Amino acid sequence: MRSISLDYTHSFIEDYELENIKEYINIAHNMLHNEKGPGSEYTGWVNYPKEFDIDEYERVKLASEKIRKNSEVFIVIGIGGSYLGARACIEALNHNFYNMLTSEKRNGPEIYFVGNNVSSSYILELLELIDGKDISINTISKSGTTTEPAIAFRIFKEYIEEKYGKEEAKNRIYITTDSKKGALKELASKEGYETFTVPDDIGGRYSILTSVGLLPIAVSGLNIDEIMNGAKDGMEEYGVLDLDKNYSYQYAAIRNVLYRKGKEIEMLTSYEPSLFYLQEWWKQLFGESEGKDLKGIYPSSASFTTDLHSLGQLIQDGRRNIFETVINIEEPKVDMILKEDKENLDGLNFLSGKTIDFVNKKAFEGTLMAHTSGGVPNIILNIEKMNEYNFGKLIYFFEKSCAISGYLLGVNPFNQPGVEEYKKNMFRLLGKPGY
Annotated catalytic sites, by residue?
A: 288, 423
Smallest CA-to-CA distance from 88 within 248, 301, 254 is with 301
Bridge-based pairing state of the strands 322-331 and 110-114: unpaired
Contact (CB, 8 A) for 109 and 71: yes
For residues 161-176, b (16+ Cβ closer than 10 Å) or e, as one string?
A: bebbeeeebbebbbbb
Residue 2 neighbours by CB distance under 10 Å: 12
Among candidate residues 34, 8, 37, 44, the one with its CA nearest the CA of residue 253: 8
Strand order in the sheet with 135-140: 110-114, 73-77, 135-140, 173-177, 194-197
121 contact partners, CB below 8 Å, separation of at least 6: none
Which residue type occupies 171? Answer: N
Q: Residue 98 to residues 153, 311, 432: CA-CA distances in angstroms?
A: 24, 28, 40
Half-sphere exposure of 151 (CA within 13 A, CB side): 13
CA 120 to chain centre: 25
Pair 406, 289: CB distance under 8 Å: yes
Instruction: Count CB atoms within 10 A of the CB of residue 93.
Output: 23
Is the omega angle on the peptide bond into residue 305 within 30 degrees of 0, that is, cis? yes
Cα separation, 32 vs 306, in Å, equals 38
DSSP 3-state of 100? helix
